[in-house]
Amino acid sequence: MKIKNSELRKMNKEELEKKLMEVRKDLVKINAQVAAGTIPENPGNVKNVKKTVARILTMITEAGKKSNE
At 44 the three-state DSSP class reads: coil
Tell me the whole-structure pTM to 2 decimals: 0.84
Q: Does residue 43 surpass a pLDDT of 90?
A: no
Mean pLDDT of the chain: 88
Tell me which of 10-19, 35-44, 51-60 is least confident.
35-44
Predicted confidence at residue 1, as pLDDT, reads 66
Residues in the chain: 69
The CA radius of gyration of the chain, in Å to the nearest whole number, is: 14
Report the CATH number of the 5-68 domain: 1.10.287.310
Over residues 4-17, the pLDDT tens digits come to: 888 888 888 899 99
Q: How far is 6 from 39, CA to CA, in rounded Å?
A: 32
